[in-house]
Structure 1
Amino acid sequence: MAESAPDTDPFATLRSLVRPDDIISPDSPEYRPSAQTWAAQKQENPGLVIRPASIEALSKVIAHLYTTKLDFAIYGQGFSSASARDVLVNTSAFDDFSFDPQAETITIGAGQAWSEVYRKLEEVAPEYGVVGARTPCVGVAGTILSGGYSWLSSEYGCISDPANMLDAKVVKFDGSVVWASTEPELLWALRGGGGGFGVLVQVKLRVFRYPQDIWAGPILLPREALEQVAKGIESFLAGPVDPKITMFLYVVTGRLLESIGSDSDMLVVHAFDANGEEHGRESFAWALDIPGAVDQTKLKTLAGVAALQNKAGTVKGTMKQFWQPLMLSDISQETVIKAVQWFEEIKDVDPSFGECTYLIFELLSSVGVIQQFQQVSDTKRPSLQKQRDQAGGAASSAWPRQDGLKHILLLGTGCPSDAGPYKEKLARDLAIEAPSRVLGDNARFQVLPNGLEEYHDRREVWGAHYEKLQSLRARFDPSGRFKGAIGA
């Protein structure tokens, strides 16, 4: 008997599982925005993008892909640079939103950007806040899988902490759909475990009443005032700081200026004080009083504060980018000055590198897990304690943040997307060297999961949780087909 001709379309079965509108081919105008990675070097130009419009369709797609040899990846908003050679499963259609005022929770589609979550929450419950991403264009699922920091993290911890992320609906490798709370170890793994345990389609988050007259925004400062700025930051952090206060310090130039909403090479202190304008101006007088300071702060709602960062997505895909996201216990005057010097030396290596390099201090970015647990109301604490016990006691999140680390130093080197292999390798090497150049060889820090590169040691990032996460990857991804930070 003659053998049947092989199927010339490797995606034929996949196409039959979804509606025509769910299929995005490389020649479609929707293809690039539906598949664009943040870091250009990670773009694999998939042969097909599937954007299922329902959980049922997604379940069929995942169950089928898992049994094939097709290379596939799960994509939300693209800031984790997920890509694949064959099929990209875009989850952005999962953008539902519901608010339960009695339980004080929201249930939201995990494929949407945080800007939509903030907008929708403000529409239905303007007096409420949520622990959500500071960069509004990033996706819900990706931030949860990598821990997730918020403007409110100095009070309430990470987005993925049990007091904030209460549950998640997941499509598993075989297409079955579960609420992760029915499998406590799955829920634990989703909280900062780096992904690869299934596909998040919904998450349930705690919301709470929060001030909506937040004093926030940029204070632009002359580069010549660096030493005064660095001394001001050290003094500011030395005393007790109200948990409703946090701040960024940006040092960026060139094409990155538009991504933070600035058009000047000045240092940028981005202030946040949920106690209001009078309190904020007093707290940040050290910056406002520096000669040449340009005050662009305003009173904002929480959604308005997030919107201040809404230009971050404008540079997606324009650079080959390499990250060093570091969590530190202290930020000294010396650290600030050395970091800026490092940044300026990068520009000296190659002017195009300077335009593609990030230096961002995210100060007062975290609170201890115990403190965060204590801030939950008495009525909700017993159910949270049960979750903690089921998931492994005090180690309630998959990413074990080290005690005392509360500031983020984000170093990112890069080169233009059209740069050749030599410049790409040089940008990568500069990123690898960055922590020791800025902090010294013996500095204590922890690498965050939200900017991992292949040169980071996963065992150091997840510490004592690494082997358990490996075991869970093997359970929830038995054939090793999903892509996650920790291998199955």
Structure 2
Amino acid sequence: MAETQLANLLALLTPADIVTPESPEYEEQSRTWAVQANKHPQVVVTPKSVEALSRVVSYANTTDLNIGIRCTGIGNATSRDILISLSAFKSFQFDPHEETVTFGSGHCWGEIDQKLEENAPGYASVSARCTYVGVGGSILHGGQSWLSSEYGLACDPKNLIDVQVVKMDGTNVWASEEPELLWALRGGGGGFGVATAFKMRVYKYPSSIFCGQIVYAPDALKDIARETAAFASRCSDAKMALHLYCLDMTAGTYAGKEPKPGLAIFVYDANGPEHGRSKDGFKWALDIPGAVDLTKTLNFRGVNQQFDASRAPFGKINTWAAGVTVPAVDENLILRAWDWYLALLKKDPKLVMGTYVLMEVMQKAVYQSLGFPSLVSAWPHTRNQHNLQLGTGVIPGSPESDALAYKAMAEGPYEIHPGHIGADYFLNFIENFIDLKKVK
């Protein structure tokens, strides 16, 4: 029966819409961020129009076929039978009067940054903080941005105005026609239909942003912990943000070098370079002994391009992640994170290429722009203010390392942040150890 259903579904498309394992583009169209997540679909289909997609979705919903939806980007969307790729949905329109953009769900955010730069210079969207994240997955699961400290999440009603959706019966609607559907799409995930286009607010934004890494040796840890915690507690400037990393500073295996655990701060100041280097900006970080200053002045698109090298593990390693919100980034949290990082690498040095700790220092508006508690959108808002992200992984072929990596992600948030509860996960990182009923 499954073979007949598959054949019937493919008959709804043209040969140009069908990608098989023998096709040269199959690997790119079916690749998952984590190797172990890939179910190697029998076929990837790339419908070129909403009408073709509607036919596929309508029929697929009547079959026993395993179906997945991929909006592009770097997620783990996959399936055993049919993977529907939205890579052909590349429409883009800027409305200068409404100050909105309407764009297809087949974009990555780097493409949107580029098109805004070309068609709406001086504007920025509440996008991801790197170029290679797909628009669909990020928006539908909340959407955190450099702009979020000022304008909230991408899915907030003032930012996400409308979504074009193919529903499971194949009908095509703009979600504003069905308010409950639009509510669900604002941060509730992608299980309510297939999003084909988004209409979002864009904002006039500075084009001279002070940003980049400041790198440190491990012996600067105590100074970094003290000064970063002080910054996190005092800063209320919506145009400033900070990321603190514990990771392999040489890119280890990827660069063919011996791993070198270290620390880095990525600073972001949209007030410009003069402010960024001042005592009101990040002078404190530059003054920490041993600091290596790699900062630059870039526009918004250029800032996001600084993270392109982070795409290197895509589809190369078995990897797991855990992302939680925390109320504060204090000295003890930073010190525990570093100890956890080193302890994991000591248990299994093979994990060095995939292991990192990332603490994102943000402003309250990111999660509380709608107040708390808030039922205005489906995204589970929180009183917490900052993010703690953990990741680890290893080249496929080591079951013991896989088991340790999974265990580390399940237990890591509790070890680093003892006040962590199951409600504090954010939905971009969903693994089997997370009880979704507790997330809020």
* Same-fold call, TM cutoff 0.5: yes
State the shift of 1:255 in Å: 4.6
1:258–1:311 CA contact under 8 A, matched in 2: no
* Structure 1 equivalent of residue 264 of structure 2: 268
1:329–1:445 CA contact under 8 A, matched in 2: no
* Structure 1 equivalent of residue 196 of structure 2: 201
Structure 1 counterpart of 2:109, from 110, 114, 118: 114
For the residues of structure 2 that align with 1:359 and 1:136, how far apart are their CA atoms? Answer: 20
State the shift of 1:193 in Å: 0.8
Structure 1 counterpart of 2:377, from 353, 374, 397: 397
* Structure 2 equivalent of residue 410 of structure 1: 389
Q: Which amino acid aligns with 2:351?
A: F
State the shift of 1:15 in Å: 2.0
- 1:455 has 2:429 as partner: no
2:323–2:429 CA contact under 8 A, matched in 1: yes
State the shift of 1:280 in Å: 0.7
Give % identity.
Answer: 39
State the shift of 1:238 in Å: 2.1
- 1:83 has 2:78 as partner: yes
State the shift of 1:191 in Å: 1.3
For the residues of structure 1 that align with 2:207 and 2:340, how far apart are their CA atoms? Answer: 38
Q: Which amino acid aligns with 1:273?
A: D
TM-score of the superposition, structure 1-length normalised?
Answer: 0.85
* Structure 1 equivalent of residue 37 of structure 2: 42
Q: Which amino acid aligns with 1:307?
A: Q
State the shift of 1:194 in Å: 2.2
Q: How does 1:123-162 map to 2 (within 5 A)?
A: 123-162=118-157
For the residues of structure 2 that align with 1:91 and 1:146, how far apart are their CA atoms? Answer: 17
**SS at structure 1 position matched to 2:438:** helix
Task: Select between 317-326 and 362-371 the one with higher mean Cα deviation.
Answer: 362-371
State the shift of 1:111 in Å: 1.9
Structure 1 vs Structure 2 CA RMSD? 2.1
Structure 2 counterpart of 1:281, from 277, 280, 285: 277
State the shift of 1:204 in Å: 0.2
Change (3 A) 1:268 1:110: same
1:143–1:450 CA contact under 8 A, matched in 2: yes
**SS at structure 2 position matched to 1:123:** helix
Change (3 A) 1:394 1:427: closer
For the residues of structure 1 that align with 2:261 and 2:301, how far apart are their CA atoms? Answer: 27
For the residues of structure 2 that align with 1:170 and 1:371, how far apart are their CA atoms? Answer: 26
* Structure 2 equivalent of residue 291 of structure 1: 289
Q: How does 1:76-475 map to 2 (within 5 A)?
A: 76-253=71-248, 255=251, 265-282=261-278, 283-364=281-362, 366-367=364-365, 371=369, 394-403=374-383, 405-420=384-399, 422-440=400-418, 446-462=424-440
1:17–1:61 CA contact under 8 A, matched in 2: yes
Task: Select between 269-278 and 432-441 the one with higher mean Cα deviation.
Answer: 432-441
Q: Which amino acid aligns with 1:70?
A: L
For the residues of structure 1 that align with 2:324 and 2:38, how far apart are their CA atoms? Answer: 25
Structure 2 counterpart of 1:19, from 14, 19, 22: 14
Task: Select between 12-21 and 184-193 the one with higher mean Cα deviation.
Answer: 12-21
Q: CA offsets per residue over residues 370-427 of structure 1, 9 Å max, x none?
A: 6469xxxxxxxxxxxxxxxxxxx94112122112x1110001222223333x332221
Q: CA offsets per residue over residues 128-156 of structure 1, 9 Å max, x none?
A: 11100012201111001211100111111
For the residues of structure 1 that align with 2:407 and 2:75, how far apart are their CA atoms? Answer: 20
Structure 1 portions without partners, runs of 5+: 1-5, 374-392, 463-488
Change (3 A) 1:257 1:127: farther
2:2–2:65 CA contact under 8 A, matched in 1: no
For the residues of structure 2 that align with 1:125 and 1:355, how far apart are their CA atoms? Answer: 39
**SS at structure 2 position matched to 1:201:** strand
For the residues of structure 1 that align with 2:360 and 2:25, how far apart are their CA atoms? Answer: 34
**SS at structure 1 position matched to 2:428:** helix
State the shift of 1:299 in Å: 1.1
**SS at structure 2 position matched to 1:436:** helix
Q: Which amino acid aligns with 2:403?
A: K
Q: CA offsets per residue over residues 169-211 of structure 1, 9 Å max, x none?
A: 0000011100001111111111111221100000000011111
For the residues of structure 2 that align with 1:63 and 1:185, how far apart are their CA atoms? Answer: 21
For the residues of structure 2 that align with 1:436 and 1:397, how far apart are their CA atoms? Answer: 28
Aligned length: 433
1:328–1:445 CA contact under 8 A, matched in 2: no
Change (3 A) 1:293 1:26: same
For the residues of structure 1 that align with 2:374 and 2:315, how far apart are their CA atoms? Answer: 39
For the residues of structure 2 that align with 1:79 and 1:13, how far apart are their CA atoms? Answer: 30
Change (3 A) 1:77 1:186: same
For the residues of structure 1 that align with 2:411 and 2:197, how far apart are their CA atoms? Answer: 39
Change (3 A) 1:55 1:245: same
TM-score of the superposition, structure 2-length normalised?
Answer: 0.94
State the shift of 1:452 in Å: 1.0
Change (3 A) 1:360 1:90: same
Structure 2 portions without partners, runs of 5+: none
2:243–2:265 CA contact under 8 A, matched in 1: yes
Change (3 A) 1:58 1:359: same
Q: Which amino acid aligns with 1:395?
A: L
Change (3 A) 1:294 1:264: farther
